[in-house]
Amino acid sequence: MDVARKRAWILTTQRPLDRRAIFIANYWPVVELVLKRYEPAALAGLNAIKLHLEDLSPPEECWPTNAQIRASTHSPWSQDSS
pLDDT tens digits along 59-77: 666 565 665 556 665 555 5
Contact 8, 33 (CB under 8 A): yes
| Three-state helix/strand/coil letters over the chain | CEECCCCEECCCCCCCCCHHHHHHHCHHHHHHHHHHHHCCCCCCHHHHHHHHCCCCCCCHHHCCCHHHHHHCCCCCCCCCCC
What does pTM read for this prediction? 0.43
**In the chain, what are the domain boundaries?**
2-61
pLDDT tens digits along 39-61: 777 767 887 788 778 887 766 66
